Amino acid sequence: PNIDQLAKEGVRFTQHYANGPECSPTRTALLTGRYQQFAGGLECAIGTGNVGRYDDAIRLAKINELGLPASSAVIPKAIQNQGYKCAVYGKWHLGYEPKFNPISHGWNDFFGYLGGNVHYFNHRETSDLHVLFDDDLPVYREGYMTDLITESSVDFINRTTKPFLLFVSHESPHFPFQGPEDKEKPVDSGNWMDIDPQAYISMIESLDESVGKILRTIEDAGKKNDTVVIFVSDNGGFANAADMGVLRGSKSMTYEGGIRVPLIIRWPEKITAGQVSDQVSITFDLTRSILNLAGISENGNQSRSDSLVSKLDGYDIIDHVMKQRDEIPRTLFWRGKRGNRVWRAVRHGDYKLVTKEGEADPINAVYDLSVDPAETKDITDQRPDLKRKLSELLKTLYGF
């Protein structure tokens, strides 16, 4: 109900994409404003305990360099330079080494965990590694992870007098599947990813309650009208747990089910409520939009953060819906690696090429999303010219 109400009060996007089919790549794109391939080693989620999962990531892990360098991130430094206080609470998943900690990136406040998922009650990874931190120091807390993230976020809003950027990075509904009432449920490395439908429902309900608490806090603080709220996901749903509707595939794939995700933006002062936008957008569009809102242009004073701003890949989608512009076609790219498996995709207008290699069942197919969003009909035979064009487009970004 709270997420639904947020959509009613803002704009809901029907064709928004995560930059990657997994979390670390998308988070990299959000903080850098660019395709994650430029950061190195982050085309796949970092493995539990700081493990690289494909060649480049394995190489970087061996030399303690697997993570997002602070020098590559435009957020939060560029925002702070405009007088904003910046905090992140919850999942980080952009490096375990101290130099990759959010505080080393320049965030003012951090509470959360460094890895990709933790036990919701003891806050440890499957290896029993302690990864819960308060700023750059290990910390121990009692409570359900979703509640702890929410409590930190509420406290930050209530005590912050400056303009702020708050990144509420919830784990839910990521495995392990534990609802708020499942403290005594046995969960270990043997059943960490086992699907529990009732727990999944409880996790979604808990997440929705969290959204409601944060929205009420903003309103009670008198900050509703001039606060932009963005609700978004970093990848598609987990196979056999999430319901992706008509969309094919799931997390880790570049089919629509792996990369097309929810996006809601609310700004009562500027965005007309109740809109539904079919504008194609992607994670790093949010980066561009946020920076523009903070008054950061491409022509800065050439400080480190300003020079990075000049390299942003995104499009200002908040300005797009504010001014109710006509939809524009986009050309967007994806590549995700894990082991020898490589998923790729390019969307050009309404046409999309999906490929997979490195496994026994390779994929190389073209779809017309305007009539086939479920990607059920490969139109390669009817449009070989289109397939050649889309394949060439991939080369313009990745060089293959």
**DSSP calls for 32-43:** HSS-GGGTSS-S
pLDDT digits (tens, 9 = 90+) for 290-326: 999 999 976 543 344 556 788 899 999 999 999 999 9
Helix (H, G, I), strand (E, B) or coil at 91: strand
Q: How far is the C-alpha of 282 from the C-alpha of 288, rounded, in Å?
A: 11
Structure tokens at 31: 């903080």
CA-closest candidate to residue 393, choices 374, 375, 366: 366
State the amino acid at position 228 in one-letter form.
V
CA-closest candidate to residue 312, choices 288, 341, 278, 337: 288
Q: How far is the C-alpha of 30 from the C-alpha of 11, rounded, in Å?
A: 20
Q: How far is the C-alpha of 305 from the C-alpha of 356, rounded, in Å?
A: 36
pLDDT digits (tens, 9 = 90+) for 146-163: 999 999 999 999 999 999
Partners of 307 in beta bridges = none
pLDDT confidence of residue 143: 98
Helix (H, G, I), strand (E, B) or coil at 197: helix
* Positions in the chain whose pLDDT score sits under 70: 298-307, 399-400
What pTM was estimated for this model as a whole? 0.96
- Distance in angstroms between the alpha carbons of the first and the last residue of the chain: 45
pLDDT digits (tens, 9 = 90+) for 31-43: 999 999 999 999 9
Cis peptide preceding 197, ω within 30 of 0: no
pLDDT confidence of residue 251: 97
pLDDT confidence of residue 218: 98
pLDDT digits (tens, 9 = 90+) for 242-282: 999 999 999 999 999 999 999 999 999 999 999 999 999 99
- Residue 202 contacts residue 241 (beta carbons within 8 Å): no
Residues whose CB is less than 8 angstroms from the CB of residue 349 and which lie 6 or more positions away in sequence, other chains included: 329, 330, 331
